[in-house]
Amino acid sequence: MSNQATNQLPAYVRSAKPNPRENRAPWYKNTAPTYAGIFLWFVFWQDAVNTPNQGGALGAGLGAAILGLAVAALVCHFLFYLVPGLLGMKTGLPLYVVGTSVFGAQGGFLMPGFLMGVLQFGWLAVNAYFSSMLLAPALHIPAEVLMVVWAVLAAFVGLKGIQYVAKVATYIPLIPLLILLWMFIKTAGGLGSFDAQALIETHKSVVPSAPPPLTFPGVLAFALTYVVGFFATAGAAGVDFGLNSRDEKDVQMGGLVGVALAALVTAGLSALIVAGVYGTETLKQAALEAGKGGETKSFILQTTQLMSVIFGEGTSKWLWFLLALAAFPPACFSSFIAANSFKTTLPNVNPFVSVGIGTLVSIVLAVTHLAGDVVSVFQVIGASFGPICGAMMVDYLLAGKKWSGPRAGWNPAGWISWALGFIVGILPLIKIYDLPAAPVAAFIVGAAVYWVCMKAGMSTQVVPLQGAEEKAA
């Protein structure tokens, strides 16, 4: 390897050092609990069956809803997480370096590094919106005021005090897990009486304009959009998780337990809780009464909204407070990840300025309630990172199941595949075509186009990187 070739690479790539094997740990100490904590965030599981259709995602039956969630959870592991995790384990390098094999050493500044940072402010907006909506009834403070305070405080802690949050973040995810289990115990008695057709008829009587019930393909498409869209950025970040893994078994087990199982357990419990409520006559009637309490009649399928039905207003306010408390560390970590991304890609810009601008955007998205449309947010995330994960998988396979190394400049194959995949993934959101399972479609298009472009020679040369040789498992 010549020094002249290496000097073609930007400083952030040349200076990258693989994570030593002695710094790595078993999957149950890092990857699995960290990923499980992501899925325990109430914003993920509260809408697991909440579609506008008659009966929501339970309209085709509880079994169909659980099966759809199981398929989506496995897709997250095998298509979106596994290859990035293996790349991280084999190279010991972070995502913004490993991604240069797909997008080029120059292009890697923007994709996936800068994009990962930008999208964190979307997550901060979602976090601020839903956490404030839970806190507002308990604190008797307008939700919009809380959204501003929440976003600013999380951004500041993410920049200056993340080490203090990290010390307690390991245990805080137990809060939503315990709340989920408590809700399940309180509602499990109604599961035997749950009737999907009765749920459809009840929903239709409350909201006559509700769309027709979903068939199983529709339920599956919703689950893939919802679960995979939520997970897409974390899937690509599997590189950063994988560099802390010792071998392929750690990568596999970390994903199977922390991704697939955790997604199924949290979303599955949420589905069971909703079914249990509508299978219990007294809880069902209380839910219908609660739906009449707003400005317009609504049919409640959101798990956190059903908490007041299950526990009563007094207890629910405390549980909402605890769920919001558990959501604060993820908000801080979003700011922290964004700051690190901007420090790498915009080294001459003060992180307080870049993160401050991003936080302002988060506040606007939250106070205007745009961040409350989580399915649309998940579609944007899935459209953005689906093609990245697809291209990374193909690049890994073409290189013989290893990292090919950074490519010079801007790699056309990566950028073309991302652009076309993003367009496909965003089609339902811009109302051009209601493409089912758009995040998965974006992944498939990104993978297919990248393969075609690479076979057609539409790529820049690989520039050897000293010290990044693959660490054999």
Residue 407 bridge partners (DSSP)? 462
How close are the terminal C-alpha atoms of the chain, in Å? 24
Q: What is the pLDDT of residue 162?
A: 62
Give the Cα separation of 162 and 68 in Å (integer).
36
Say whether 170 sits in a helix, a strand or coil. coil
Q: Are 279 and 190 in contact (CB under 8 A)?
A: yes
Say whether 462 sits in a helix, a strand or coil. strand
- Identify which of 186, 16, 100, 165 has the alpha carbon closest to the alpha carbon of residue 413: 100
Give the Cα separation of 309 and 7 in Å (integer).
64
Q: Are 246 and 90 in contact (CB under 8 A)?
A: no
Backbone phi, then psi, for 437, in 5-degree steps?
50, 50
Token duo for residue 267: 């979303």
Give the Cα separation of 232 and 430 in Å (integer).
19
- Tell me, what amino acid is at 263? A
**CB within 8 Å of 281: residues ≥ 6 apart:** 193
Q: What is the pLDDT of residue 468?
A: 53
Say whether 41 sits in a helix, a strand or coil. coil
- Identify which of 123, 131, 359, 333 has the alpha carbon closest to the alpha carbon of residue 232: 123
Q: What is the pLDDT of residue 173?
A: 84
DSSP state of 256: I
Domains annotated for the chain, with CATH where assigned, are 21-455 (1.10.4160.10)
Give the Cα separation of 250 and 242 in Å (integer).
8
- Identify which of 249, 251, 226 has the alpha carbon closest to the alpha carbon of residue 239: 251
- Tell me which H or E stretch contains 323: helix 313-345
For 340, how many CA atoms within 13 A lie in the half-sphere containing its CB?
A: 14
Give the Cα separation of 85 and 384 in Å (integer).
19
Give the Cα separation of 119 and 232 in Å (integer).
11
- Give tens-digit pLDDT for 33-66: 989 999 999 999 999 999 999 999 999 999 999 9
What is the pTM (predicted TM-score) of this model?
0.93
Give the Cα separation of 290 and 274 in Å (integer).
14
DSSP state of 407: B
Break the chain down into helix, strand, coil percent, rounded to 5: 75, 0, 25
Give the Cα separation of 300 and 56 in Å (integer).
10
Residue 124 exposed, middle or buried by CB count within 10 Å (0-12, 13-18, 19+): buried
Q: What is the torsion angle, in degrees rounded to the nearest 10, for the CA atoms of residue 135, residue 139, residue 140 and residue 146?
A: -50
- Tell me, what amino acid is at 280? T
Residue 363 bridge partners (DSSP)? none
Token duo for residue 433: 């075509």
Give the Cα separation of 124 and 122 in Å (integer).
5
- Identify which of 221, 218, 233 has the alpha carbon closest to the alpha carbon of residue 383: 233
Token duo for residue 23: 């710094």
Q: What is the pLDDT along the chain (473 residues), one digit of tens a residue?
A: 445 555 678 888 888 889 999 999 999 999 999 899 999 999 999 999 999 999 999 999 999 999 999 999 999 999 999 999 999 999 999 998 999 999 999 998 788 888 888 999 999 999 999 999 999 988 889 999 999 999 999 999 888 866 666 666 778 889 999 999 999 999 999 999 999 999 999 999 999 999 999 999 999 999 999 999 999 999 999 999 999 999 999 999 999 999 999 999 999 999 999 999 999 999 999 999 999 876 678 999 999 999 999 999 999 999 999 999 999 988 988 888 888 788 777 778 888 898 999 999 999 999 999 999 999 999 999 999 999 999 999 999 999 999 999 999 999 999 999 999 999 999 999 988 999 999 999 999 999 999 999 999 999 999 988 655 444 33
- Four-residue CA torsion sign, 129, 130, 136, 137: positive
